Structure 1
Amino acid sequence: MWDTLLESWKSLLEPLHDPVALAIPAFALFLVIEWAAARKLEDHPDRADGRAHPATGGYRGVDARTSVLLGAVSIATSAFWKVLALIGYSAIWVYLAPWHLSPSAWYTWVILLLGIDALYYAYHRIAHRVRVIWATHQAHHSSEYFNFSTALRQKWNNSGEIIMWLPLPFLGIPPWMIFVGFSVSLVYQFFVHTERVGKLWRPIEFIFNTPSHHRVHHGSDAEYLDRNYGGILIVWDRIFGSFAAETHRPTYGLTTPVGTYNIWTLQTREYAAIARDWKASTSWRNRGGYVFGPPGWSPKAELTSPESTTH
């Protein structure tokens, strides 16, 4: 087992095995190009609440810096979670997997990428419907802008994803491949965070997650909430009934704006809100609802609107 751990750890640390590490220069280049194209854009005060509405493809310096800082910290925090995952995945792969798939076989990579994408869809959907997991994800949705910097606004708590990937080592996929597969997904998803690309060729829009589909996912409009969870493929949303087409430009951000650019507050605010609701609750049933119910759940909301949400 230790030989397997060491081999997997070496693969995890080697930058040439990590598509995200390879893609960082491309991320920076595309971000700068998009920012330069947006320099003359202004925020337009055309929202009903009187707040400035970000121009299409626009950037705001403090917002972009916040996203980059959140992403930078997430590199360190994700390394911690990957260490834990590597130990667990290696033990499962060595002792419990009924077979070991070869990384040199093409079908291993097909199984890996389809498995990663299907499990990502499942986790992503849960993350929007279970408040304690939404707490890990909501910072990514907190920006009222939608551009390449938004893609960097990542979570610091990856525990849910780590648990969701557990079936993959059971299937005999080498642990290091799991991290490579998810990195491929992250690289792909970076490029769907833009308003500079319209709708693509219809077959592509039907099969793959595209900028148009992901704009819907980041919309706080009622018709766009809890839609388009797919990572690389959008077919999961079509199959499981969570797909929505882009019919108008979304209003980005949370339904209740956070009003801060403090990265610690952005990552912890929902945990703090859960703790307050727990403390104020008078029954264990309600406490369970505040933790494991959908975002925005309350005893009153349960009686009046089961689909109530605050994200």
Structure 2
Amino acid sequence: MPSNLPDVVLWSIPAFVLLTVLEMVSYRLHPDDDAAGYEAKDAATSISMGLGSLFFDVLWKIPVVAIYAAVYELTPLRVPVLWWTIPLMLLAQDFFYYWSHRGHHVIRILWACHVVHHSSRKFNLSTALRQPWTGFTSWPFYLPVIACGVHPAALAFCSSVNLVYQFWIHTERIDRLPRPFEFVLNTPSHHRVHHASQGGYLDRNFGGILIVWDRLFRSFAAETERPVYGLTKNIRTYNPLRVATHEYVAIARDVRAASTWHERAGRLFRGPGWEPRPDGPGSSGDTPAPGRPATAERAA
């Protein structure tokens, strides 16, 4: 990484620990209700997923860095790392993060990675640590940034800033912020909607730092009713390995049971709730699972 770009995640770890402890203490001193706060097994699973992701991310980064480096060497463009280019790179990274995040909600094989982050029925700062162990699915979305001449290390820095920013928005202890902030930034209120499992909240508010992308591309929903967190079909396990792999197992089962190549492709690349339309007179095309939107099924 260029010498003038710090390791944002490393420097933020003490703040992560301190803020999480403070939030835990706040729930001890001022309990909310049974749906809020911390549950020991759930928090332990989230922390375990976070620690595991640090190990697996090192493995996945090896081929990704090689691909990025090759693309960077092939492009004639170069974006220098200067005080005025860093905000532009952050803006570009956040834009492509929006599309990566949205893609991970509407394409099932990508959702199998991202579902880990949504698998907790709690919403607190420890939930931010519940990260996937198969985080190799996002890199294609950022190839345009590298092709435009952004150094892979500069992109890594921007991604780290985006990740660190999103830590503090995983809380119910912060209500709505003043309107200008709520209009431009991703806030705890907006992110509570994103983690909710109600039909009107599903697949909304994909932004990382900025919420303006959701407003522009019509995926925004304001927080109105109290969110119910988790999946539309929750998993009942605290085993980190099962949390990390349960949707891949479900995909393998569905692909194995599929009767046509069209259905096999749909099980991989259509929405998480996609079902083939039953054969019969007058039937054509595909249909979502009965009684739920096409992208609403969120677990095996």
Q: How high is the TM-score relative to the length of structure 2?
A: 0.91
Give the match's secondary structure for 2:294. coil
Match of residue 54 from structure 1: 35
Are the equivalent residues in 2 in contact too, given 1:220–1:255 (CA < 8 A)? yes
Q: 1:255 aligns with which of 227, 232, 250?
A: 232
Q: CA offset at residue 118 of structure 1?
A: 0.6
Are the equivalent residues in 1 in contact too, given 2:106–2:295 (CA < 8 A)? no
Q: Distance in 2 between matches of 1:34 and 1:267?
A: 26
Q: CA offset at residue 40 of structure 1?
A: 5.4
Q: Does residue 1:230 correspond to 2:215, yes or no? A: no
Q: Distance in 2 between matches of 1:307 and 1:41?
A: 40
Q: Which moved more, 1:162-171 or 1:271-280?
A: 162-171
Which amino acid is 2:82 matched to?
Answer: S
Q: How does 1:101-116 map to 2 (within 5 A)?
A: 101-106=79-84, 108-116=85-93
Are the equivalent residues in 2 in contact too, given 1:42–1:54 (CA < 8 A)? no
Q: Does residue 1:298 correspond to 2:275, yes or no? A: yes
Q: CA offset at residue 41 of structure 1?
A: 6.4
Q: 1:89 aligns with which of 68, 71, 75?
A: 68
Match of residue 199 from structure 1: 176
Q: Distance in 2 between matches of 1:200 and 1:43?
A: 20
Match of residue 22 from structure 2: 33
Which amino acid is 1:267 matched to?
Answer: A
Q: How does 1:82-231 map to 2 (within 5 A)?
A: 82-94=61-73, 96-106=74-84, 108-231=85-208
Q: CA offset at residue 183 of structure 1?
A: 0.2
Gaps of 5+ in 2: 278-285
Q: Distance in 1 between matches of 2:164 and 2:274?
A: 33
Which amino acid is 1:271 matched to?
Answer: Y
Match of residue 252 from structure 2: 275
Q: CA offset at residue 257 of structure 1?
A: 1.1
Give the match's secondary structure for 1:165. helix
Give the match's secondary structure for 1:17. coil
Which amino acid is 1:288 matched to?
Answer: A
Are the equivalent residues in 2 in contact too, given 1:81–1:162 (CA < 8 A)? no
Q: Distance in 1 between matches of 2:75 and 2:240?
A: 40
Alignment identity in percent? Answer: 46
CA deviation profile, 1:138-158 (whole Å, cap 9, x unmatched): 010010100000000001122
Q: CA offset at residue 30 of structure 1?
A: 0.1
Q: Distance in 1 between matches of 2:293 and 2:232?
A: 17
Q: Distance in 1 between matches of 2:57 and 2:141?
A: 15
Are the equivalent residues in 1 in contact too, given 2:112–2:247 (CA < 8 A)? yes
Are the equivalent residues in 1 in contact too, given 2:79–2:149 (CA < 8 A)? yes
Q: Distance in 2 between matches of 1:238 and 1:147?
A: 25
Q: Distance in 1 between matches of 2:163 and 2:157?
A: 10
Match of residue 310 from structure 1: 297
Equivalent residue pairs, number: 288
Q: CA offset at residue 29 of structure 1?
A: 0.2
Q: Does residue 1:66 correspond to 2:45, yes or no? A: yes
Give the superposed CA RMSD: 1.9
Are the equivalent residues in 2 in contact too, given 1:100–1:173 (CA < 8 A)? yes
Match of residue 17 from structure 1: 6
Match of residue 3 from structure 1: none
